[in-house]
Amino acid sequence: MESGQASRGQFVIVIMMGPPGAGKGTQAQRVAERLGLAHLATGDLFREAMARHTELGRQAESYVKRGEYVPDQITLGLVRERLSQPDAQAGAILDGFPRTLEQARGLDRLLAEKGATVDKVVYLDVPEAELARRLGGRWTCRRCQAVYHEVFNPPKTPSVCDVCGGELYQRPDDTPAVVQRRLEVYHQQTAPLVQRYDAAGLLVRVRGDLSPDEVTEAVLRAIGDW
Ligand code: AMP
């Protein structure tokens, strides 16, 4: 693919996979911007709905707080809705979805209705010890969801987002006990998806433990290389 825009002239779907803390959010946001695709992050959508106290937010809250997955049907409904919005016309980078086999099957059905399929799955590989370290010092923008780290990627001004000036906060599910639970749930439920997409010849592994810019370039190369 040429850099700058999605060039396949159809609905492009790239899945960004990896454990919590691998850098999916940061990379998906950058890559979506570079390729002119929507950034569809189910975790961000759940947090927004919770902050606005919508019906979806109420349904998701108890799961998100415990580090458990929101039920598949609720999650699939959310993704269907988001993919029908105007900024997703050319397609999307999926960040944090699908996370279960049922969600992956649901995604295939949903895309089939549009005559589309998953184009590529990028797996961000980061050693486990590094994940726990990253999640510990993570700060997130309340407004635009940009992610910082107090040691590895600090904002220019403490507590203020470089991108939009929004306030930075620490996600309540980034506490050590919930981080541990999120890593466990990931290994039980999401790791099997890696095998599924690998068997389908769609998976490409990218090292996620390099600098954010190096990872972005590696992801773009991996996507362009279909
Ligand atoms: P994330 O921001 O991707 O780490 O997601 C934060 C939390 O939102 C997760 O721990 C889950 O509780 C919920 N969540 C996000 N995406 C999904 C998904 N695809 N399926 C189920 N729950 C999800």
CATH number at residue 26: 3.40.50.300
Beta bridge partners of 25: none
Residues 6+ apart with CB under 8 A from 66: 178, 181
Structural domain includes residue 104: yes
Structural domain includes residue 55: yes
Residue 33: its pLDDT value, please? 94
Structural domain includes residue 198: yes
Structural domain includes residue 87: yes
Question: To test the ligand 1 pocket, which listed residue (40, 64, 185) has its Cβ within 8 A of the most ligand atoms?
Answer: 64
* Token pair recorded at residue 9: 């002239």
| Amino acid letter, 34 | R
Report the candidate in 12, 215, 225 with the shortest Cα–Cα distance to residue 123.
Answer: 215
How many whole angstroms from 41 Cα to the centroid of ligand 1? 9
Q: Which ligand 1 atom is at minimum distance from the Cα of 68?
A: 12
* Token pair recorded at residue 36: 């002119």
Q: Which ligand 1 atom is at minimum distance from the Cα of 79?
A: 19
Specify whether 24 is catalytic: yes
Residue 174: its pLDDT value, please? 84
Q: Count Cα neighbours of 138 within 13 Å in the Cβ-side half-sphere.
A: 25
Around ligand 1, the residues with Cβ closer than 6 Å are: 20, 42-43, 46, 63-64, 67-70, 75, 96-97, 99, 103, 173, 182
The one catalytic residue in 80, 105, 133, 171 is 171
Q: Count of domains in the chain? A: 1
Q: Is residue 140 within a helix (H) or strand (E), and if so which, with residue range?
A: strand 138-141
What are the helix and strand counts (H, E) for the chain?
9, 8
Structural domain includes residue 150: no
Specify whether 47 is catalytic: no
Residue 9: its pLDDT value, please? 53
- From first to last of the 226 residues of the chain, give the pLDDT tens digit: 444 444 455 899 999 999 999 999 999 999 999 999 999 999 999 999 999 999 999 999 999 999 999 999 999 999 999 999 999 999 999 999 999 999 999 999 999 999 999 999 999 999 988 888 888 888 999 999 999 998 888 999 999 999 999 999 998 888 888 888 899 999 999 989 999 999 999 999 999 999 999 999 999 999 986 4
Residue 226: its pLDDT value, please? 47
Residue 6: its pLDDT value, please? 44
Task: Give the position of tokens 């609720």.
Answer: 74
Are the beta carbons of 174 and 182 closer than 8 angstroms?
A: no
Structural domain includes residue 139: no
Structural domain includes residue 153: no
Distance CA 1, CA 198 (A): 21
Q: Which ligand 1 atom is at minimum distance from the Cα of 99?
A: 19
Q: What range does the domain containing 66 cover?
A: 12-127+186-222
Structural domain includes residue 140: no
The one catalytic residue in 34, 120, 134, 138 is 138
